[in-house]
């Protein structure tokens, strides 16, 4: 049975939710599910904006059939070819054989890679700034390469001020019947998931996001329609400001993420003492055991806070395995502009600190503090001075809002 949400008189959400997916993209847990958004515009011509993942194809086609009634589907605008939005594309073509597909040349190439149907005869190729009329609505196209795939583009409906933003401005979490961000307590329940989505899916491509933000800065966006999560009709500026911040790798708040790898608890003990000393100074600290918390969650906090401390035992003459995965992931996600301190441990030859520093030096604008702590098996009382030296150095770099 169909399940729809009306967005405007002409636009309806025809997507769906998947609450059984364990790992989005095989990497990111989605305990609260995820939505795959598709939008149908009923104008003089009918226009579908993107398709959906295979997991929700049944309800998607029921939605589409219900909305179209006897009308044909005239156009499909494809913004992004990742299969969570394109898996059902071929079936849409089979069901609506006269359908034309509005896309760019890179999308045509990817359609040929993923599918075998004839795209050349049905493609309407658009470029940056092109405008396409569907009757009352005028659609203007903006290329958004590497946000977060090379073929990505966005569409701005100049008639109603609707930006179809592809993955940008998306969020993990099923919609649970809501469709607008202002129907739920987004700040309380979803901002964390929006940050986790941004940091992990798009976070590597900050400069490309900045380029798109510049392009859309002058648009009168009255509705923001991403491919995952909620539609925005209020406080759009505030959400765009978050993207400005995240994409420029500017911390949201002053605070210290302490990620530690500890086999028998001694490195954890040092990390906990450090956290307590920071709180003593009124500096917020959050702690993560890298063997328990997924790297993707820690990266999300690293995007949020200004300071990072990595405390790791030495393992096989290297960085402990789960800490090594986190460090590699942080470098891969292009994190920048953070102040970092490193603590190492090792019972005979501690080397993890040196190796962590070497990896993080690959990141841009990382202020890696000279102060460090090297533990042999367990922290000793005479090393408290070194902990305090790290706290002092962190405090000096904290911009306090006094
Ligand atoms: Fe939601 Fe990049 O796919």
Give the model confidence (pLDDT) of 119-159 as tens digits. 999 999 999 999 999 999 999 999 999 999 999 999 999 99
- Give the lowest-confidence range in 252-256, 314-318, 397-401: 397-401
> Dihedral through CA 8, CA 9, CA 14, CA 18, nearest 10?
40
Residue 217, Cβ density class (10 Å: 0-12 exposed, 13-18 middle, ≥19 buried): exposed
Q: Are 50 and 198 part of one and the same domain?
A: yes
**CB distance 79 to ligand 1 below 6 Å:** no
Tokens of 154: 């966005």
Ligand 1 pocket member 92 (CB < 6 A)? no
Sheet holding 223-225, edge to edge: 131-133, 138-143, 153-157, 162-164, 223-225
Q: Quick check: is 230 in a domain?
A: yes
Please give the mean pLDDT across all residues of the chain.
97
Residue 401 lies in a domain: no
Same domain, 316 and 189: no
pLDDT at position 372, please?
Answer: 85
383 and 243 co-located in one domain: no
- 237 shares a domain with 260: no
Neighbouring residues of 366: CB distance < 8 A, sequence distance ≥ 6: 336, 337, 338, 339, 340, 360
Question: In terms of domains, do 110 and 83 share one?
Answer: yes
Per-residue pLDDT at 402: 40
Q: Are residues 262 and 314 in the same domain?
A: yes
Measured distance CA(147)–CA(79) in Å, rounded? 11
pLDDT tens digits, residue range 40-52? 999 999 999 999 9
Does any domain span residue 194?
A: yes
What separation in Å is there between the alpha carbon of 44 and the centre of ligand 1? 29
Q: Are residues 66 and 127 in the same domain?
A: yes
Q: For residues 346-361, give the mean pLDDT.
A: 97
Q: At what angle do helices 352-360 and 321-332 cross, to 10 degrees?
A: 10
188 with 264, same domain: the answer is no
Which phi and psi (to 5°) does residue 196 adopt? -65, -40
Report the separation in Å between the CA atom of 312 and the middle of ligand 1, taken as the mean of its atom positions.
33
Distances (CA, A) of 249 to 160, 317, 344, 401: 32, 32, 26, 20
pLDDT > 90 in the chain, percent: 99
Co-location of 237 and 261 in the same domain: no
- Amino acid 367: pLDDT: 97
Q: Kindly state if the Cβ of 85 falls inside 6 Å of ligand 1.
A: yes
Show Cβ contacts of residue 173 under 8 Å, excluding neighbours closer than 6 positions.
30, 32, 33, 34, 35, 189, 190, 193, 229
Q: Where do the DSSP E strands lie in 14-86?
A: 16-18, 23-24, 28-29, 34-36, 39-42, 46-49, 75-77
Q: Which domain holds residue 296?
A: 256-395
CB-ligand 1 contact for 366 (6 Å cutoff) = no
Domain boundary among 185, 217, 247: 247
| Cα distance between residue 20 and residue 31, in whole Å | 9
**pLDDT reading at 401 higher than 90:** no
Return the SS3 of 352: helix
Single residue among 207, 224, 247 that ends a domain in this structure: 247
Looking at the structure of the chain, the number of domains it has is: 2
CB 338 within 8 A of CB 367: yes
């Amino acid at each position: 049975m169909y399940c729809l949400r009306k967005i405007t008189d002409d636009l309806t959400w025809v997507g769906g939710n998947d609450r059984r997916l364990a790992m989005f993209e095989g990497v990111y847990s989605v305990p609260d599910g995820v939505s795959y958004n598709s939008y149908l515009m009923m104008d003089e011509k009918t226009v579908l904006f993107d398709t959906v993942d295979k997991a929700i194809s049944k309800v998607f086609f029921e939605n589409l059939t219900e909305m179209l009634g006897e009308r044909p589907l005239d156009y499909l605008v494809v913004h992004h070819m990742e299969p969570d939005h394109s898996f059902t594309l071929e079936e849409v073509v089979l069901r609506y054989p006269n359908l034309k597909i509005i896309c760019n040349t890179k999308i045509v190439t990817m359609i040929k890679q993923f599918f075998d149907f004839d795209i050349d005869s049905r493609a309407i190729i658009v470029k940056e700034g092109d405008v396409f009329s569907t009757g009352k609505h005028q659609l203007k196209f903006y290329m958004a390469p590497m946000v977060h795939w090379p073929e990505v583009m966005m569409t701005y409906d100049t008639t109603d001020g609707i930006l179809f933003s592809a993955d940008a401005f998306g969020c993990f979490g099923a919609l649970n019947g809501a469709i607008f961000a202002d129907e739920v307590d987004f700040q309380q329940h979803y901002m964390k998931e929006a940050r986790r989505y941004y940091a992990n899916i798009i976070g590597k491509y900050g400069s490309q996001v900045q380029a798109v933000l510049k392009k859309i800065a002058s648009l009168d966006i009255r509705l923001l329609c991403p491919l995952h999560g909620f539609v925005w009709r209020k406080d759009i500026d505030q959400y765009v400001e978050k993207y400005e911040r995240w994409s420029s790798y500017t911390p949201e708040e002053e605070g210290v993420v302490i990620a530690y790898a500890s086999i028998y608890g001694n490195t954890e003990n040092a990390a906990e003492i450090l956290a307590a000393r920071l709180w003593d100074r009124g500096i917020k600290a959050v702690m993560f055991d890298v063997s328990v918390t997924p790297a993707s969650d820690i990266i999300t906090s690293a995007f949020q806070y200004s300071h990072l401390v990595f405390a790791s035992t030495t393992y096989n003459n290297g960085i402990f395995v789960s800490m090594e995965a986190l460090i590699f992931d942080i470098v891969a996600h292009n994190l920048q502009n953070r102040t970092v301190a490193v603590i190492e441990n090792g019972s005979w030859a501690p080397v993890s600190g040196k190796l962590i520093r070497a990896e993080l030096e690959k990141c841009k604008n990382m202020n890696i503090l000279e102060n460090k702590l090297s533990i042999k098996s367990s922290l000793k009382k005479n090393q408290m001075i070194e902990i305090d030296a790290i706290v002092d150095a962190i405090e000096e770099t904290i911009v306090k809002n006094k």
